[in-house]
Amino acid sequence: MIWRKTAKSVPNWAFEVQIGGNLVEAMAKLKHAWDLYSSIPVLVTRAEQVPEADDLLGGSFHEMKEVARVLADDRLSEFYKVKLQFRELKNALCLV
């Protein structure tokens, strides 16, 4: 999945969700988006796979180590819940 600022622009962010299976394939897809568009690569995976992803960024995919983000799926769920709480509070305070 990619995020673009506008429909015809290059993607700013490239996301790969890998909840099991081969992290090398996921990282290769992110590397392709990074090489092609200079997109910020984001890998979402299980917490148990984060160390393996970090190892890959220190080895085979070292070129994108400084720009890539690795996020455990439970942290993403936590972020979403906090964001919803923030929105509710913002609406309660009538903030735009």
Question: The pTM is what?
Answer: 0.80
- Residue 1: is its pLDDT beyond 70? no
Question: How many CB atoms sit inside 10 A of residue 62's CB?
Answer: 10
pLDDT in tens, 19-59: 988 999 999 999 999 999 999 999 999 999 999 999 999 99
Q: Give the integer Cα–Cα distance in Å for 46 and 17.
A: 9
